[in-house]
Chain A
């Protein structure tokens, strides 16, 4: 864990330097989300840099997961849900009617709160994305994608001899890493993680956090978490949500050591939430 914290301190410095310079990967402007009549998210605007980890924190029901699900348009699957405002990835509006949601989701992977491997073999779980998006042309291609994805997810050594066993037979932590491998198999640009460790024990959580730290070299990662320690450990930037609004956003160290808003301070010092 110590090395993780050290690495993390370096990373923050880098991120702070980089944040102002590079153009944002994901950019949201005045995003509102309605569930029927209820307004769940109010005028959220935020810029998320590439090759780094951004964490969303806040009390339950504050809208952080709702916002996360806007970025790959998962909210489309909820009939009563309506999104207004503008979200862009690389300056491309993802709510553009001409854009196909299938292609969007190939670029924006997602990992869920509870590990949800498909009831298929470990191999098939990872091969699923490349297959439906036609990324491989031969069995050898596919084998390579599966292997490299599992390697990147730190799972290859554990499962290489049982690729044909069911993905649902593994431990919770392994299942979650399998879901991460599944997500990165289609080589996305952004990876969304919705409380990826909340169903895991501390050891499995530490492994996932190491993995996230590893993955940020190549991906833009956005993570929703309930654990402020986790946000502090893995992310370079943090956004605090409260009652459907984005209260404060900035470098993680800033948010945790020197929050500007009273509500942020109350939350991180444990006064509510």
Chain B
């Protein structure tokens, strides 16, 4: 098990290293980054001074080493707009986004897991059809459309929930629902089909042959096995939730990192964009690592590697 953890962690570090390269070269792809930072009417003298000040006149490898050594300490430079450390700005908005993603994930799991179990156990029944309908709807309606519909119904029409802003649990409900729809659909469909497959396997027949009750068959023997392929998708969905938060936060004017990133792009505040991309990437790598480790817990066959 320890070897498994070590291998996975090394892979994760390698990915983070790759991300650092991508983030660094992101703003250098289009040539000299000074053009991005300075106003178009800046004089040659100003450009030269800025290039020297930012170190853009040094060899590129040296610049990267410098960037990396500061990045590992969390230093991405100052935000050009707010004059504050870029990473600090992103981190300040992080809790709001984490709360949104966690709420969305919670909602999808609370709906999809019981729904998938019931649908698979009573295949072809009314509950199975409802499950299929929910996954069809959740998968085909775009998040922004759902978000707007939610605002129209619950804010404009019913006045139950605030249409925008952050800071209270009421502000969390609609963005979380809009964000959860897609993951709910995906997880329901996948868990349902894995459950159906597992329920037909030989070891389920063995369990029935032992006299295990239906509930025991489904919840103990089948669910744990069906959870293994589903876990991959749940992990990927957590990443997608973080990414999807960008649009959802913008629609609901929710003060998370996604909204900050969009504003930073508008303002050409590239240090903030770099900090945002890097942090999000590290988070997603961290989630994937957690998923990999959970595999080992769920599936004993993976432990001896």
Partners in one complex: no
